[in-house]
Structure 1
Amino acid sequence: MKVLFCGDIVGRSGRESVTRNIPRLRQELGLDFVVVNGENAAAGFGITAKICAELHGAGVDCITTGNHVWDQRDIIPYIAQDKRLLRPINFPPGTPGWGASQYETARGQKVVVVNVMCRLFMDPLDDPFRTVDAEIAKYTLGRSAHFILIDVHGEATSEKQSMGHHLDGRVSAVLGTHSHIPTADSWVLPGGTAYQTDVGMCGDYDSVIGMKKEGAVLRFIKKVPGDRLAPAEGEGTMCAALVETDDKSGLAKAVRPIRIGGRLPPAG
């Protein structure tokens, strides 16, 4: 199988970089499934039902989120009825929506996506390791699930790496989001799980993690409340990871970064 995972979409620039490239990439790369993290897609804060429809229309099969999932309050009733939009699985019981779901590709392959949020320097949520363990115990990789993807949304590189090693050999891919900066450590772990600490964002990199740089810099050099941060509006770079797996085992054969457009050097 070939699965593409795009990092955090930030604002219109990020959305356009994804919707412009995904239809072409599905054809050129022979993609079976596409996942994006959309938690900053709505002007940098949250996501809306309209944006979800826009992304699905471009060929996105599943949208994950993170700590900004509720920034647009009208998403709460929507997420409760659309399993193609996930929120972190380790949110407290009773939280609207789903943290994981199983999907089927056009070729009949079963894909499981799990969205989990870390705890170091983040919200005090349920244990992400035990929560993911309980979820993936429902499936047998290569049999009841042909591909299992974990979006690990977190601040600390150590916690994300620990999740990768903890799940090595039991899932197809552990791919990080949240920092908006692509890391140079995409590789297949010894047990056969594709890993990257952070896939990076889809957005304008002439910015501070996707937001206009002037206001963001002032927050560090002046202890004065400033204007609300707004997304940078230059050409966006689409940052993603392409994972190819063995159809029988569900384990990764290869993982490589994809970077298209904008200011970062192209890759893939």
Structure 2
Amino acid sequence: MKVLFIGDVIGRPGRLFLKSLLSGIVHNRSIDFVIANGENAAGGFGITEKTANELFAMGVQVITTGNHVWDKKETVQYLFSENKILRPLNFPPDVPGFGSIVFNLKNGLKVGVINLIGRVFMNLSDCPFRAVIPEIEKIKKITNIIIVDMHAEATSEKQALSYYLDGKVSAVVGTHTHVQTSDEKILPYGTAYITDVGMVGPMVSVIGVQVEQIVRKFLNQIPQKYDVAKGSCFFCGVVIDIDNQTGKATGIERLLVNE
């Protein structure tokens, strides 16, 4: 099977550009399953029911998130019931939402998706390395096809997790930095990996935000409201080929499309 994993979707510009591309990519590349990180889909910070439904209507089947998942207050209640939007599994156990899902495709295949968050240079959460193993064991009773979104800042933490999970999951895909890396590979025991898949949003920006606002913050260190940049966008993602029976990855390809 072929899985398309889409980098962090940034605000309205990212949503609109994704809408213009997604059906064509799915058709031309015979994609079976689509995942997108949507934690910045609503105004560049957070996600709402409305923006999530936009992504679902485009053809995204599961949305992962990260540290910005709670930025819109209304999302807290929404995540009690919507299991196709994931928040990190290793958040405290009493928070609302779901850290994983087994998604049933129309062709009969089942795909597990797990959302994790890193701890290096980020707010502390439970250990992703320890939290993920029981979840993998639970999902393995249903399907061998498992995709992990590791939402983390440090490249070392993402790489370490990928080797820790090599052979246990189909892919470990990094998100959060919004900058696509060029280290896509298949690890020795059949797990696909990339340190960061990138983003979908404005090209002339600092990870999606207006350039002058970020530069000003670096110059004066005064907190301010950030706005999503305008102008032409680009799309980042990866296509992962997975053996239906074993769940091992057989290929991973980076996608980068400019508007």
TM range (shorter): over 0.9
Partner of 2:105: 105
Q: Which residue of 1 aligns with 2:44?
A: 44
How far the C-alpha of 1:224 sits from its partner, in A, is 3.3
Identify the residue that residue 238 of structure 1 maps to in structure 2.
235
Q: Distance in 1 between matches of 2:5 and 2:53?
A: 18
Query: Paired residue for 2:173?
Result: 175
Residue segments in structure 1 that go unaligned for 5+ positions in a row: 263-268
- Please give the residue correspondences for 1:80-119 in structure 2 after superposition, counting only pairs within 5 Å: 80-119=80-119
Deviation per residue, 1:41-72 (Å, 9 max, x gap): 11111011001111110100000000000001
For the 8 Å contact 1:109–1:146, the answer to whether it is kept is no
Greater mean deviation of Cα atoms: 150-159 or 10-19: 10-19
Matches within 5 A, 1:95-244: 95-140=95-140, 144-225=142-223, 227-244=224-241
Structure 1 residues 95, 224: closer, same or farther in 2, change over 3 A? closer
Contact 2:144/2:169 (<8 A) preserved: no
Q: CA separation in 2, counterparts of 1:16 and 1:173? A: 27
Aligned-partner residue type, residue 85 of structure 1: I
SS of alignment partner, residue 63 of structure 1: strand
1:265 aligned partner: none
Provide the residue aligned with 2:248 in structure 1: 251
Runs of 4+ in 1 over 4 A off after TM superposition: none
Deviations 1:153-172 (A, max 9, x none): 00000000000000001100
SS in 2 for 1:139: helix
What is the CA–CA distance in structure 2 between the aligned matches of 1:84 and 1:17, rounded to whole Å? Answer: 22
User: What is the DSSP-based 3-state SS (H/G/I as helix, E as strand, rest coil) of the residue aligned with 1:20?
Assistant: helix
- Please report how far the alpha carbon of residue 124 of structure 1 lies from its aligned counterpart in structure 2 after TM superposition: 1.0
SS of residue paired to 2:233: coil
| CA shift for structure 1 position 146 | 4.2
Say yes or no: does 1:15 pair with 2:15: yes
Residue deviations 1:113-171 (CA, integer Å, cap 9, x gap) = 0000000011111010011111001133xx73142000000000000000000000110
Percent identity of paired positions between Structure 1 and Structure 2: 44
Q: How many residues align?
A: 259
**Tell me, what secondary structure is at the counterpart of 1:203?**
strand
CA distance in 2, matches of 1:57, 1:136: 29
The unaligned stretches of length 5 or more in structure 2 are: none
Asked if 1 retains the 8 angstrom alpha-carbon contact of 2:102 and 2:139, the reply is: no
What is the Cα deviation at residue 25 of structure 1?
1.5
Q: Partner residue of 1:260?
A: 257
Following the alignment from structure 1 to structure 2, what is the Cα–Cα distance between the partners of residues 148 and 17? 28
CA contact (8 A) 2:9 2:200 kept: yes
Looking at structure 2, the residues matched to 13 and 39 of structure 1 have their Cα atoms a distance apart, in angstroms, of 14
Query: How far apart are residue 192 of structure 1 and its match?
Result: 0.5
Check whether the contact 1:12–1:233 (CA below 8 A) recurs between aligned residues: no
Which amino acid is the alignment partner of residue 100 of structure 1?
S
SS in structure 1 opposite 2:179? coil
Asked whether the equivalents of residues 16 and 236 of structure 1 are also in contact (C-alpha less than 8 Å), the reply is no
